[in-house]
Amino acid sequence: MFKKSVVALFTPFKDGHIDGQAVTRLVDWHASQGTHALVVGGCTGEGNSLTPDEHEYLLKCALEGAAGRLPIIASTGAVTTHETVTLSKRAQKIGVQGLMIMTPSVVKPLGEGLVAHFAAAHGAVDLPIMLYHNPGRTCGKLEDDTLEALASLPRLLAIKDSTDNLTWPLALKQRFGDRFALLSGEDLTCAAFLAQGGDGTVSVTANVVPHLYARLHDAWRAGDLATFFKTRDAIFPLSKAVLCVTNPIALKCAASLMGLCRDELRLPLTPASPPARAFVEATLHKAGLLTPGQARHA
């Protein structure tokens, strides 16, 4: 589950509410495109803007679309341990296959606090867990000694790293061996992350080109470097476009142009500016994802 092409799914909205039909269609499409798993309700999915009931509804729609064809990983990290445990229990109850839990933002816990936080979530459910390391959003860095303590939690199986520190996966592999699956959360360096010992990606860009991310990972595992390099080069400009402003602003712009959703976000996020939108649209055209006159302004 925590390997190869995992997509950080965006959340489609319609008139301020989750568009459940769009969610189900998206997940069905990802299953047909070779995506290996989906993270639902994370940062890309505007999870912090969702109520607990909306979070549950989103997961139910994703499970319906998946129909057992690919794992649904619920993002259940929150500022407090109590909320994290509650969201994790609810996600397990409705049938997700795994959890992704981010280190808490705002509060800046020390190492022992992080260990206690993850231990509480781990003890509350029976699901495999991926730890999400994103110091750019949480202002907190995972230290190796903290990971050493977390390694005692048997169902904490993976780490998603959303930094561009390409020495870290190699250092973790040398220290922990295969104890943790390592996944890149940084699209612009995801190919290099694999070469440094990574096992997969949790991608934003794969929302619009899931087939390319599936191909990237299949080529890497098969040792087909010609296909790997060609696919890497095709993905890079798309990643620059969908990440040109705060995620998921440009991503939703791209997805709306492709007819996958409305260009609707929840405040304080707002739609892409005209220059950003023009950059995204031009990149999609150049990649062959849009042809003249086919852009859909949903």
- Read off the amino acid at residue 262: R
The answer to whether the CB of 31 falls within 8 A of the CB of 70 is yes
Average pLDDT over residues 88-102: 97
Among 188, 204, 161, smallest CA distance to 38 is for 204
% of residues, the chain, pLDDT over 90: 88
Give the per-residue pLDDT at 291.
Answer: 67
- Read off the amino acid at residue 181: A
Give the per-residue pLDDT at 297.
Answer: 44
Average pLDDT over residues 249-273: 97
Largest Cα–Cα distance in the chain?
56
Give the per-residue pLDDT at 134.
Answer: 83
Give the per-residue pLDDT at 141.
Answer: 73
Q: Is the predicted pLDDT of residue 279 greater than 90, yes or no? A: yes
Give the per-residue pLDDT at 142.
Answer: 79
Bigger pLDDT: 292 or 13? 13
List, in order, residues 6 or more apart from 266 with CB less than 8 Å away: 13, 16, 46, 49
Give the per-residue pLDDT at 111.
Answer: 86
Q: Is the predicted pLDDT of residue 103 greater than 60, yes or no? A: yes
- Read off the amino acid at residue 179: R
Q: Is the predicted pLDDT of residue 292 greater than 80, yes or no? A: no
- Of 4, 132, 213, 252, catalytic: 132
Average pLDDT over residues 171-193: 95
Average pLDDT over residues 174-196: 96
Q: Is the predicted pLDDT of residue 298 greater than 80, yes or no? A: no
Check whether the bond before 268 is cis (ω within 30° of 0).
yes
Q: What is the pLDDT of residues 107-157, one digit of tens each?
A: 788 889 999 999 999 999 999 999 998 876 765 677 888 999 999 999 999
Give the per-residue pLDDT at 106.
Answer: 76
Average pLDDT over residues 186-196: 96
Among 16, 98, 15, 2, smallest CA distance to 59 is for 98
pLDDT confidence tier of residue 188, bands split at 50, 70 and 90: very high
The verdict on whether 160 is a catalytic residue reads yes
The answer to whether the CB of 263 falls within 8 A of the CB of 256 is yes
Average pLDDT over residues 172-198: 95
Write down the mean pLDDT value for the chain: 94
Give the per-residue pLDDT at 144.
Answer: 83
> Given 3-state DSSP classes, what are the helix, strand and coil percentages for the chain, each rounded to the nearest 5?
50, 15, 40
Give the per-residue pLDDT at 122.
Answer: 97
Domain spans in the chain, listed from the N-terminal domain onward: 4-231
% of residues, the chain, pLDDT over 70: 96
- Of 4, 160, 213, 252, catalytic: 160
DSSP, res 4:
E
Q: Is the predicted pLDDT of residue 18 greater than 50, yes or no? A: yes
**Which top CATH class is 4-231?**
alpha beta
